[in-house]
Chains A and B, each alone.
Chain A
Amino acid sequence: MNDQAKFDRRSFIVGSAAAVGGLSVGFHLPFGDAAMAAEMEPEVNAWVVVKPDETVVIRIARSEMGQGTLTGLAQMTAEELDCQWAKVTYEFPTPGENAARKRVWGDFSTVGSQGIRTSNELVRKGGAAARMMLVAAAAEQWKVPAAECVASEGTITHTPSNRTTTYGKVASAAAKVEPPTEIKLKDSKDWKIIGKGLKRLDTPDKTQGKTIFGIDIRLPGMLYASFKQCPVRGGKIKSFDAAKVMGRNGVKKVVQVEDYGVAVIADSWWRANTALDAMPIEWDEGPNAKVSDQTIAAWLKEGLDSDDGLVANKGGDVKAALAGAAKTVEAVYAYPYQAHATMEPQNATALYTDDKCEVWGPTQNGEASLAAASAAVGLPIGKCEFHKTFVGGGFGRRGGGQDYIRHAVLIAKQMPGTPVKMLWTREQDMTQDLYHPITQCKITAGLDKDNNLIAIHYRISGQSILASLAPARLQEGRDPTTFSCFEPGGTEAAYSYTVPNILVDHSMRNPHLKAGFWRGVNINENAIYIECFMDELAKEVGMDALEFRRKLMDKYPKNLAVLNAVADKGDWGKPAPAGVYRGLAQAMAYGSYVAACAEVSVDNNKVKIHRIVAATDPGYGVNPSQIERQVTGSFVYGLTGLFMGGINIKDGKVEQENFDSYEMMRIDRMPKVEVIIMPSGGFWGGVGEPTICVAAPAVLIAIAAATGKRYRTLPLRDYGLTLA
């Protein structure tokens, strides 16, 4: 019986691979970082610990939420370390340790498909430095020049004398070697571990129920809390009657959280939650109780023609070009709110003692969670600590915002000395999400007499994520995330067609729901707006959609390469089986280039996806097996949003509360996806999100080809279209 997780005094959450035993949860009380450090295995450097049995522990700063970053980062460190991959295991340093060590592990943020690409140099240098120190230690023991020694697979050889030793034998000595100041990384052509589709390090535990997610934290004497906040965002608590539930079995305390929430603390979560459900609560819902889908849509519609546009991309003179165009084409698209619905609902466990606060939980940004805990409890960072667990789905929910961390800490602060695990119900999770923002887009294009696209105006109207989550990051009022895929160049998410006169502007209108980052973020809708309308234009001028795009893509060879790849493998231009139609989409997203070709048939409003071909060029492919899984998984996420997603608002409240009303794609509707991974080198792009942005448009375009109808508003369930 596994009644309690094992505790040790280390502040790492330690993982297990084949090489080591079970998983223990980092827990150290009282605080004593120096004592803790002394108990730790001596590290070679911040990134690498080599144990006497040759086990190599690689420290992973970024969060693992399924995307495989853990394994990819370990591969990159191991590549430069030249250790045996079979001996590699991992652990998560804490953000508190990072702060204490001058951010030696860099940024903990695991958002924006950045895990691999923004830390690749740091983790590779960490591995290379450790290797150099291990070699130097061996050379010193042998009294030979380090330059005469080589390292491979965890063994160091003095070439002239053929003497050998291992990393495990010299690790303690290496820890005392002065770290190198000049580090040369391997040329990509010499990589042996990077680029291989190695098995994930976290799979064995995940098949045996051993992985510790935030919800699985168990601490001695721990109590449980269920939390509920005003169903209308912006509303407040008027009153609650704690006396009605205080006499129930196991109920310990009822606490208010902020001015809008209340929690019941009990000796089991079920008792806490049933008491919370039974407790009379009166809400002051405020003026937002009048908001509905209809009021939001009407407000956004006004923004399609308003004169308050915040300009993001401007070239030439769109107004004049449209006025002089031989023909203009116009369409209005709309994208709804979407809930993250991470399989692990939001939760965190906090312990407040005297003047200290320690928190455990699933997060995409350990440093942000630590900062949120510190702010909530009112203590400096140095008196707080946060322990990252494995994350049961992130999708952006657990990066910005950190609302659930704040709530857990505010609850625990009212129960000093006792650890309290706060867990949201699925209903609380779905109705109090930080939703994918709602937008509409009016697109107006001008064609000359030869049917060349000479002008295009994209007017976005709708909600800004940054205005909701991080207003300080707005740039002169503009939210750059709103314009992903519309950027005039750059290395992240450039608009990748040449149109001489272009204007992209945004009328920002922020309804009361909180907006957040939802896997793929604004590229989800922007790629629909761009790609579906490109297909409309091609149809308008009677051209093949691929040829029409090619004419505009001279300056975007990497985009064109992935588009050509899916067109080729997807049999674009060749006859399709009877009743089967194809759609193409491409984009640059998160620094990578992606494209998809979808094949569908539509029968009596039932959409059957026969096949999808998807290509991705992420620059370098660290683990092709994981890239393939991210690409196929992206279609589940993107197509769930397209067909079944969409959050509805009535009386200011979110109508969908659970998976019965907010449906998810299941295995029976998973289409066949063929993945082309074509890293062209020379840049580092993301993988976790980019493909989502071509999933919906490729399928929408194919549906238009099949039905002759343009479905311009998501989700498709609103039209009665279902995925067969």
Chain B
Amino acid sequence: MNIQVIIKEEENLIRGFISGEIDAFTAPILREKLATVQQKENLHTELDMSEVSYMDSTGLGVIVAFFKNVNANNGHVKLTGLSPRLKRLFDITGLGEIMDIETDDKGGNI
């Protein structure tokens, strides 16, 4: 039960690399890390989740909160490298329809 979050700021793009499990225990760590991202107009963000082995609904809550924040400032959130299990989670919850998601098999956006 561990998580690693690395945030890299490039010009107008924030890249996040998340690895490990996102559950009720580790979600607060992810929330804290994402909270360090300075919100500003038209912010582009990309979260690489290819090393995330498990995520439950608490983790989903953190991602949604981040998405809502960035969106409120006309920014954009893209999630990449989702495993089939994670992809299913986003599809079932309907979030796949409103978020920019790329799966692990380098398929197109949805």
Q: Do A and B come from one complex?
A: no
A interface, CB within 8 angstroms of B? none
